[in-house]
Amino acid sequence: MEGALKLASPPVTSFETLGLHPLILRAVREVGYTEPTPIQSAAIPHLLAGTDIIGIAQTGTGKTAAFTLPMLNRLTDHTPERRSTRALILAPTRELVIQIQENIVAYARHLPLRVATVIGGVSESPQIDALRQGADIIIATPGRLLDLMARRHGDFSGLKFLVLDEADRMLDMGFLPAIRDILRSLPVQRQTLLFSATLPREIEVLTRQIQRTPKTIQIGRRANPAETVTQRIYEIPRHLKLNLLAHLLQDQKLSTVLVFSRTKHGADRVAKKLDQIGIRTATIHANRSQNQRQRALSDFKSGDVRVLVATDIAARGIDVEGISHVVNFDFPPHCEDYVHRIGRTGRAQSTGDAFSFATPEDKEAVWALERFIGRSIPRGKADGFNYSAPDMTGAPQRPQRPGSGAAPTRPSPPRNNPGRPQNRFKSPVSRRR
Ligand code: AMP
């Protein structure tokens, strides 16, 4: 990969000096951004110059504006000869697609550009209509877009700009074949941007195939969770996790809380328990319809419910201002998930807390995570919580290995997962989704 650009402390600059169009600058001021974030000041000049970019940055860094602002600029600079889509953004989840669309609509409020989304789980006819009318910018999940393209919807013959957002997540979700199929129908002469929190080998291979001498822009340490987030681990037996969550929510008066569950059923269980004790809770996971998800998000955003329980995949793209706490009810099975999860709080300039519950079975995952982020996470004890309450759930007790506590004591070598090429950024803990 050419021209790696690693910025510990990028140059301080203003939006005005980045060379953006006055109508875009006006919109940026109106949405309240006063100065560019590090990834914006690093990426925008290259993108305006037409360079391909690999952006290694976690969510919460302002990466969406980093690619959408120069994209809008370039679309504004060139008047199209015909009605073809000129910018295509592929993202892993419907929520992220909608989030990107909302950002683009805000930044393009003074520009005569048409924006459309193409996502699964909702009726396709409005999407087909939008494609027929011609959209300058399409934001899509790969599956539905491929489906529509296979039926000859959309005109991408004039495409100038392709963005793959959260590429590692699209890989995880099995979208790579669909992405390759889509790419086969796109013009080769274009600017290609790829954003990813990590760079697994498959993604590196993809970048070599689809980009031209890309510049790599990496903001901060690859795995560094946002500095504005205070992290704490609560070591807790499995059967007490629900009680501890209820205790923290009641005792510490946590206000806007995003709770992560590893599974859909787990998420429902948590919500049921909290509802039982009078804490209104919304859930968002793959078994919920698009309408139910939107409703859960808007109730959470408006403050009607103060707790949102989500699975990792469903939570992608959740962008809610002022999440005060992220609770990892289930310890993240995967180090990158931890970074993504806690990046939901402490967004942009505000601060937040991330609490992670770790059972004795999570010992190895805790150790792997601390190695991944390069520091140990302080342990917390909840005041007034009964840690010795017996297990009344009737669940079979797991035999504990001698000395297995949640606190990691010694490093153990990573285990290889035979199903996947080895990736040094992956936790040694196997995935369970
Ligand atoms: P992202 O990493 O793109 O998900 O953005 C995270 C959050 O930061 C979003 O809520 C953006 O609206 C916000 N944001 C992006 N750029 C800026 C900026 N320059 N100043 C303040 N907030 C920003």
Q: Are 262 and 311 in contact (CB under 8 A)?
A: yes
The confidence score (pLDDT) of residue 135 equals: 93
Q: Give the Cα separation of 36 and 19 in Å (integer).
A: 12
Question: Which residue, by CA, sits nearest to atom 20 of ligand 1?
Answer: 33
Question: 258 φ, ψ to 5°?
Answer: -105, 120
The confidence score (pLDDT) of residue 225 equals: 60
CATH numbers and ranges of domains, the chain: 15-219 (3.40.50.300), 229-396+404-431 (3.40.50.300)
Q: Give the Cα separation of 302 and 357 in Å (integer).
A: 27
The confidence score (pLDDT) of residue 323 equals: 84
Q: Give the Cα separation of 423 and 372 in Å (integer).
A: 12
Question: Which residue, by CA, sits nearest to atom 21 of ligand 1?
Answer: 33
User: Is 332 a pocket residue for ligand 1 (Cβ < 6 Å)?
Assistant: no
Question: Which residue, by CA, sits nearest to atom 5 of ligand 1?
Answer: 62
pLDDT along the chain (433 residues), means of 10: 39 80 95 87 93 86 92 85 88 92 96 95 93 93 96 94 94 94 96 90 93 87 61 95 93 84 92 92 84 87 91 71 88 82 68 90 88 82 88 54 36 32 29 30
Dihedral of CA 215/426/164/228: which sign?
negative
Angstrom distances, CA of residue 211 to CA of 69, 190, 261: 20, 9, 36
The confidence score (pLDDT) of residue 81 equals: 65
The confidence score (pLDDT) of residue 251 equals: 79
The confidence score (pLDDT) of residue 430 equals: 31
Alpha helices in 218-357 (DSSP H): 241-251, 264-276, 290-302, 312-315, 335-342
Please state the atom number of ligand 1 nearest to the C-alpha of residue 58. 2
- Identify residue 217 by its one-letter amino acid code: I
Q: Give the Cα separation of 21 and 198 in Å (integer).
A: 32
Q: Give the Cα separation of 325 and 258 in Å (integer).
A: 6
Q: Which residues of 308-336 are buried (b: 16+ CB within 10 A; e: fewer)?
A: bbbbbbbbbbbbeeebbbbbbbbbbbbbb
Order of strands across the sheet that contains 379-380:
281-284, 307-310, 257-260, 325-328, 352-358, 229-235, 379-380
Please choose from 14, 15, 58, 64 the residue to mutate so as to test ligand 1's pocket, defined by most ligand atoms within 8 A of CB: 64
Torsion, Cα 219 217 101 137, to 10 degrees, reads 170
User: Is 62 a pocket residue for ligand 1 (Cβ < 6 Å)?
Assistant: yes
Q: Are 384 and 248 in contact (CB under 8 A)?
A: no
Q: Give the Cα separation of 244 and 66 in Å (integer).
A: 39
